[in-house]
Amino acid sequence: MKNLLLASTSTLHKSDYLEYLSTELRQHFKNCKTILFIPYARPNGITHEEYTQKTALAFAKININVKGIHEFENPTLAIKEADGIFTGGGNTFLLVQQLYHHKIMTVLKETLEKGTPYLGTSAGSNIAGLSMQTTNDMPIIYPPSFQTLGLIPFNLNVHYLDKDEQSSHMGESRETRIKEFHEFNNFPVLGLKEGSWLEIKNGEINLKGGLTAKLFRKNHSPIEITSETELSFIQ
């Protein structure tokens, strides 16, 4: 049975990397001595090594080792044999392009469906949705497809922000962008604010973190969902 934490962001303002999730992560990865880290999204363009090192430092605080997938000769095997897996944030186009390039999209899906504990943050949470089409990232590289893992029956919009009614900026709001998405796609989108995460465990999908999330469905007005709501009704 799936066992996933999908967080909107890795880092809260004025807090260290992954700090706000440390209690959750201790519990989530309690049976893991070492977790496999997928650094492909390369935030700010940092290298796989730098990103893995940064992540290892954060996990050292809860006595878990981290090994980057780029360190393995066979990434498919690395995924199959991992005690736990974490995909970090960065650029979703790059992450998806790399997952296809290394031919591990399918094995990652199958492995996570069998129950290997998984953490995604930002781009690493986006890929758990049906497609990467509600990412906020720039298309810096052309992936062979926008389809992603489909571990949840909807898409996520991470780092979700309501429109700033005071702003004079005329660029599209997140809500407008998602409305445009629904002109061409039928599945729901959950706007997940920074500080929120989904816990997918025991066949349930629960909204965690104390904040509301916003649910967008085609031809419906968006609705605000409170924390601790079970979300299996979203189809």
Asked whether 157 and 134 are in contact (CB, 8 A), the reply is: yes
Q: Is residue 141 close enough to count as binding a second copy by CB under 8 A?
A: yes
Helix (H), strand (E) at residue 221: none
- What is the contact mask toward a second copy in residues 36 to 65, using x (rule: CB under 8 A)? ------xxxx--------------------
What are the φ/ψ torsions at residue 74 (nearest 5 degrees)? -120, 95
Q: Is residue 179 close enough to count as binding a second copy by CB under 8 A?
A: yes
Q: Is residue 133 close enough to count as binding a second copy by CB under 8 A?
A: yes
Query: CA-to-CA distance for 18 and 24, rounded, in angstroms?
Result: 10
Measured from the CB atom, the residue of 90 and 117 that comes closer to a second copy is 90
Q: Is residue 172 close enough to count as binding a second copy by CB under 8 A?
A: yes
Tracing tokens 């061409």 back to the chain, one arrives at 184
CB of 207 to a second copy, least distance (A): 19
CB of 124 to a second copy, least distance (A): 14
For the beta sheet containing 189-191, the strands, ordered from the edge strand earlier in sequence to the opposite edge, are 155-157, 189-191, 213-216, 223-225
Burial of 185 (0-12, 13-18, 19+ CB in 10 A): middle
Q: Is 164 a catalytic residue?
A: no
Task: Name the nearest CA neighbour of 100 among 83, 125, 78, 75.
Answer: 75
Measured from the CB atom, the residue of 44 and 63 that comes closer to a second copy is 44
Catalytic residue of the set 8, 122, 131, 196: 122
Measured from the CB atom, the residue of 117 and 191 that comes closer to a second copy is 191
Q: Is residue 91 close enough to count as binding a second copy by CB under 8 A?
A: yes
Q: Is residue 72 close enough to count as binding a second copy by CB under 8 A?
A: no
Stretch that binds a second copy, among 31-39, 110-118, 174-182, 224-232 (CB under 8 A): 174-182
Q: Is residue 135 close enough to count as binding a second copy by CB under 8 A?
A: yes
Stretch that binds a second copy, among 66-74, 77-85, 134-142, 202-210 (CB under 8 A): 134-142
Catalytic residue of the set 83, 159, 162, 173: 159
Burial of 146 (0-12, 13-18, 19+ CB in 10 A): middle
Helices (H), 44-191: 48-60, 75-81, 92-101, 105-113, 123-126, 174-181
Would you tell me the crossing angle of helices 105-113 and 92-101 to the nearest 10 degrees?
Answer: 100
Binding site for a second copy (CB under 8 A): 9, 11-14, 42-45, 90-91, 93-94, 132-142, 145-146, 159, 161, 168-172, 176-185, 194
